[in-house]
Amino acid sequence: MNNNNLLEIKNLTIQYKTDNGLVHAVNDLSLSLEKGESLGLVGETGAGKTTTALGIMNLVPDPPGIIVGGEIQFEGRDLLKLNKQDMRKVRGEKISMVFQDPMTSLNPVMTVGKQIAESISIHESLSRKEAERRAVDVLEMVGIPGERFNEYPHQFSGGMRQRVVIAIALACRPDLLIADEPTTALDVTIQAQVLDLISNLKNEQQTSLILITHDLGVVAEICEKVAIMYAGRLVEYGTLGDIYNHTRHPYSIGLFSSIPSVDGDEKRLTPIPGLMPDPINLPEGCSFWPRCNRATEECKKAVPALTESEPGHWVRCFHAGLEGSSYKNDASNKNETSKQDDTSKKNDASRKGPQTHAEYADTESACKFLGSLVSE
């Protein structure tokens, strides 16, 4: 295990028990985050991004949610084994979270200043005066004049409210900030202000960041590492450069080609055919195969392991653009899927070095062809 790791998630599995069946929200997820690093967790609705975040905070609503297995190592402790009291100390002080909707995550009958001071006085034994003074500082840090301390959330606009939520999250200088779609409810110009704020604070306070979003543009702005999730599994993980310039997983490629580009000139988009599978009824094998243009018999039978295609770049696909020898390598691994996911980086000499774009020129054209066939 890498000593620089602040957070290490191993084989996390979270399910929801519903009347319709068992929802496999997060399946065997492994991730690690170094100190001061920022990770973008990307995926579409239902990919399990928020559940993962709630899992880290140990806030998965129970019932119906259950953390079936796995470990979450944070500063040498397994968060899943902590008792309620200890976990409360971690939340807010060590790890805090910014929720998507600033309208509903603030208490409407409490002034914003009190809400910030509350989280400070819970974690630090300060006098009320002292806590309030600190709250004013935090408020100013996120760009809100201290005079607005005694105002209520409804007196603030959306962007300001999100700043207040960020101020609460940062009040105790946490080591890890989890931001769940922090800018989705905001307009672009306000989004730009908030992103600017988050990345400045991250740099000043050396806070590690997990940014959950569906917007690949936002990730490119402030993250160093990217993890792409699909149907509760990590399908691709690597640095920004790995994911954006050397995309390997067919789902990630599909995501990129679905976004209309601002500087390009494409006439038609190439969407991913089909729909996200029902998490109650995940297809056997790789959960992406019904929508995948590379799918073979192999994909329908076994879940591919997360394998390192280049140092630090992990892909969960049997056909990740590797050549013959590596294909076989993957195939022989297919029965021992669970242990393979460990993201601790082993240097595998047998792996090929970086592959170029030329390799998936074919795939992309195939993608386009498939896209044109899509009816439903």
Partner 1 sequence: MSTLLEVRDLKKYFKTPSGTVHAVDGVNFSIEEGKTLGVVGESGCGKSTLGRTVIRLLQPTAGTIIYDGRDISSPSKEELKVLRREMQMIFQDPFSSLNPRMTVKDTILEPMEIHRLYDGDRTKQSEAVLNLMDTVGLARRLANSYPHELDGGRRQRIGIARALALDPRFIVCDEPVSALDVSIQAQILNLMQDLQEEKNLTYIFITHDLSVVKHISDIICVMYLGQIVEMCPSKTLFKQQYHPYSQALLSAIPYPKVGVKRKRILLRGEISSPIDPKPICRFATRCPHAKPICFKEEPTLVRVEDQHYAACHLQKESQPYELPFPEDTVEIENK
Q: Is 371 in the site for partner 1 (CB under 8 A)?
A: yes
Binding flag, residue 134, partner 1 (CB under 8 A): no
Q: Which of residues 29-48 bind partner 1 (CB under 8 A)?
A: 44-45
Binding mask 280-319 for partner 1 (x = CB under 8 A): ------------------------------x-xx------
| 19 is an interface residue for partner 1 by CB under 8 A | no
Q: Which of residues 245-274 bind partner 1 (CB under 8 A)?
A: 245-246, 254-266, 268-272
Q: Count other Cβ atoms within 10 Å, centred on residue 91.
A: 19
Query: Do 42 and 229 meet the contact criterion of CB atoms below 8 Å apart?
Result: yes
- Residue 315, judged by CB atoms within 10 A of its CB (0-12, 13-18, 19+), counts as buried
Please report, as residue ranges, which positions from 55 to 84 form the binding site for partner 1 (by CB under 8 A).
none
- b/e 182-205 (16+ beta carbons within 10 angstroms → b): bbebbeeebbebbbebbbebbeee
Candidate segments 50-58, 67-75, 76-84, 192-200, binder of partner 1 by CB under 8 A: 192-200
State the CB neighbour count (10 A cutoff) for residue 284.
11
| In the chain, alpha helices (H) | 49-56, 84-90, 112-123, 128-141, 158-170, 188-205, 216-222, 240-245, 250-258, 297-301, 324-332, 337-340, 361-373
Q: Does 240 bind partner 1 (CB under 8 A)?
A: yes
Q: 310 and 242 in contact (C-beta within 8 Å)?
A: yes
# of chain residues touching partner 1 (CB under 8 A)? 57
8 Å CB contact between 105 and 99: yes
Min separation Cβ 347 and partner 1, Å: 14
Q: Give residue 215's identity as a one-letter amino acid code.
A: D
Asked if residues 117 and 177 have their Cβ atoms less than 8 Å apart, the reply is no
Question: Any contact of residue 103 with partner 1 (CB under 8 A)?
Answer: no
Q: Using CB under 8 A, which of the segments 6-14, 171-179, 297-305, 367-375 binds partner 1?
A: 367-375
Q: Which stretch binds partner 1 (CB under 8 A): 110-118, 183-191, 198-206, 293-301?
A: 183-191
In this complex, which beta carbon is closest to partner 1, that of residue 6 or of residue 218? Answer: 218
Binders of partner 1 in range 147-166 (CB under 8 A): 157, 159-160
Which of 53, 56, 120, 195 touches partner 1 (CB under 8 A)? 195
For 135, the enclosing helix (H) or strand (E) is helix 128-141
Q: Which two tokens stand for residue 192?
A: 């730009």
102 phi/psi in degrees, rounded to 5: -70, -15
CB 65 to partner 1: min, Å: 22
**Residues contributing to the site for partner 1 (CB under 8 A):** 44-45, 157, 159-160, 187-193, 195-196, 214-221, 239-242, 244-246, 254-266, 268-272, 275-276, 310, 312-313, 354, 371, 374-376
